[in-house]
Amino acid sequence: MIYTTKSESETADLGRKIGEQLSGGEIITLSGDLGAGKTALTKGIALGLGVCETVVSPTFTLMNEYSGRLTLYHYDAYRLGGGREAYEAGITEYFGEKEGVCVIEWWENIADALAAYPKKHIAITVKDQNTRIIEIVDK
């Protein structure tokens, strides 16, 4: 499916709808340049999962955990150089967790650690300042 959003709140709203449909165990991989809207989409997914806390970018923490209807594990793998580093940081153990959902920014950096898991892949492309093309593919 391909969607076009015209603002950050439209992207969050799409994320909320995605989040509402999750049932646990999903891994959502996010692709897109810096500033594309990966974190904005994740904030919406969090709302759809019933997370009340404010979602902040896990740039320095690698992974933030939020409780909701399902636990949200929100990753930023920007600083990681491979699946082994993710494993050594202790953050791979939540992959596929049945009572949770993993949302992973910069997942390409740890693709080897994710190879065995089914993934919902979301690619965000910047069209212009406020327009984003958002493509969702199940793999």
Ligand X SMILES: Nc1ncnc2c1ncn2[C@@H]1O[C@H](COP(=O)(O)OP(=O)(O)O)[C@@H](O)[C@H]1O
Tell me which residues touch ligand X (CB under 6 A): 5-8, 10-11, 32, 34-40, 105, 130-132
User: Residue 139 contacts by C-beta under 8 Å, 6 or more apart in sequence?
Assistant: 118, 119, 120, 121
Residue whose C-beta lies closest to Mg ion: 39
CB of 113 to ligand X, least distance (A): 20
Query: What's the closest the beta carbon of residue 116 comes to ligand X, in angstroms?
Result: 26
C-alpha 95/C-alpha 17 separation (Å) is 22
Distance, in Å, from the CA atom of 70 to the CA atom of 122, rounded to the nearest integer, reads 20
User: Which partner, Mg ion, ligand X, none, binds residue 130 by CB below 5 to 8 Å per kind?
Assistant: ligand X
DSSP, res 7: S
Q: How distant, in Å, are the alpha carbons of 1, 65, 97, 134 from that of 71? A: 25, 7, 9, 24
Q: CB of residue 114 vs ligand X: minimum separation in angstroms?
A: 18
Distance in Å, CB of 9 to ligand X, minimum: 8
Sign of dihedral through CA atoms 64, 97, 70, 2?
Answer: positive
Helix axes 38-48, 8-20, angle to 10 degrees: 40
Q: Please identify, using beta-carbon distances, which residue of 23 and 106 lies nearer to Mg ion.
A: 106
Q: Which is nearer to ligand X, 40 or 46 (CB)?
A: 40
From the list Mg ion, ligand X, none, pick the one residue 32 interacts with, judged by a Cβ distance below 5 to 8 Å according to partner type: ligand X
* Closer CB to ligand X, 3 or 87, in the complex: 3
58 binds, among Mg ion, ligand X, none (CB under 5 to 8 A by kind): none
